[in-house]
Amino acid sequence: MELFALEHKRLWRTPRVLICVALCFFYCIIYTTLISFQWTYFGSEGEDSTNLYSNHLDGYSMIRTYKARSDTYGDYWTDETLQKLVKDFQTIEPHSPLSSMYDWTVGSSALKLYEELQDPENQKYQPLIRYVDTTKLTDFYQRRADDLNVNIVMNQQNLLLTDEDVETLREMDSRIKTPWRYEWTRGWEKMLTGSLPLLSRMAPYLAIVLGFLFSGEWHNSTAPLLHTTRYGWKKLARVKVLSGFAFAVELYLLIAGGTVLLQLIYLGTDGWDMPIQMIKIHAVAPWNMLQAELYELAFAFLGVVGYAGIVMLMSALVKSNVLSLVFSLAFIYVPGLFISYLPIWLQDASQFLPMVGSPTDIFRMNFFHIFGKGIWLPWMSITIPVLLGLACVPFAILKWSRRERV
């Protein structure tokens, strides 16, 4: 324990580590979350509606305004809710600052179920939500069920789903209770499709810190000195690995904790029991917003742990800090360069690499097949990355220990 404390303190006192943590905090918390909440995403529109940076710095007060407006539509999503929302939206001028007060993204998504109401002449100039006859917006849940069946059949062909996969999807969807709970949705949409998935942006900072964990000893010519200590070489390697994992977890807690804290301050907890179908109408997972957020937080945490294990292996394999950093970064960025050229099953498999996949797969219908058995992709995406990282640990310890004894 004493050796771990010394090693961990030494890691945190390194200027490179402090700079990386500061930059990671600024980018993930200040720039992509705080500024987004207060200014670019939720701030009221400025003079140039096409430029988010012209918005006003009034996100906190505007969020309260958005919520109050959505409260007027009732607690559940019904035909009447959709009709009233669309009718109210039609009363305001296009690009008016008032338009941001309405949960129009939800209404626009719902109107995709009413494509036969589109006017070929009008749709050239304005969206359906602007001119549709609201009295014809009926049978929402039946339309959604019919459209979902069509979507599943299309995915069965495009994603090579089996009949068993299709039955699994339909069984999942059957557990979604109707009518759906409804409150202001844009806040949860921002968190689940924007802020939380961005936790994967911690990868470069982890690579810079942990990529030098073992190779740095050779770079600084301290490996022979470590061999003269009263601690065994294998124990030193284990302590360095534990210190690396501890740093990864601490960085995750700092960034994820800061993101959730800002969420509580700006968005609160209202709407946690809404189904995720309020964000993506064709999602089949019977989850509410809180369950989806917990999944995404767990996805990011396990991805961080898995990636930390892989980076430490890269650091143990080479003596060069530069090579260690290049290999660690290539691990997460190179797959994206070739992903579109790969077969579908290999594209799905790439999601199992730590910090490469996306937690937003919970809104999709992807399956991965092992020995003919289909498994919903999110379940594998949350378990395999951390297992890969942990499997790298013994090899990292063994490789560095052998070199350190030389």
Name which of 359, 358, 349 is nearest 384 in CA terms: 349
Average pLDDT, the chain: 87
Q: Give the up-direction half-sphere exposure of residue 307: CA atoms within 13 A in the CB hemisphere.
A: 40
User: Looking at residue 225, what is its pLDDT?
Assistant: 46
Name which of 231, 390, 240 is nearest 315 in CA terms: 240
Name which of 345, 396, 381 is nearest 236 in CA terms: 396
pLDDT digits (tens, 9 = 90+) for 356-373: 889 999 999 989 888 888
Helices (H), 159-282: 163-174, 186-190, 203-210, 215-219, 223-227, 233-266
Q: Which residue has the higher pLDDT, 253 or 322?
A: 253
Dihedral over alpha carbons 387, 391, 393, 397 (to 10 degrees): 170
Beta-strand pair 367-370/373-376: antiparallel
User: Mean per-residue pLDDT for 249-278?
Assistant: 96
Q: Which residue has the higher pLDDT, 405 or 52?
A: 52
User: Mean per-residue pLDDT for 102-106?
Assistant: 77
Give the Cα-Cα-Cα angle 49, 360, 252 (nearest 5 degrees): 95
Is the pLDDT at 296 greater than 90? The verdict is yes
Kindly list the distances between the CA atom of residue 242 and the CA atoms of 8, 57, 239, in Å, as whole numbers in the listed order: 9, 43, 5
pLDDT digits (tens, 9 = 90+) for 213-260: 887 665 554 555 455 455 556 788 888 899 999 999 999 999 999 999
Structure token pair of residue 239 = 């302590």
- Can you state the angle between helices 2-12 and 15-25, rounded to 10 degrees? 70
Comparing 46-55, 151-160, 245-254, 332-341, the range with the smallest average pLDDT is: 46-55
Kindly list the distances between the CA atom of residue 359 and the CA atoms of 172, 195, 300, 400, in Å, as whole numbers in the listed order: 18, 11, 8, 34
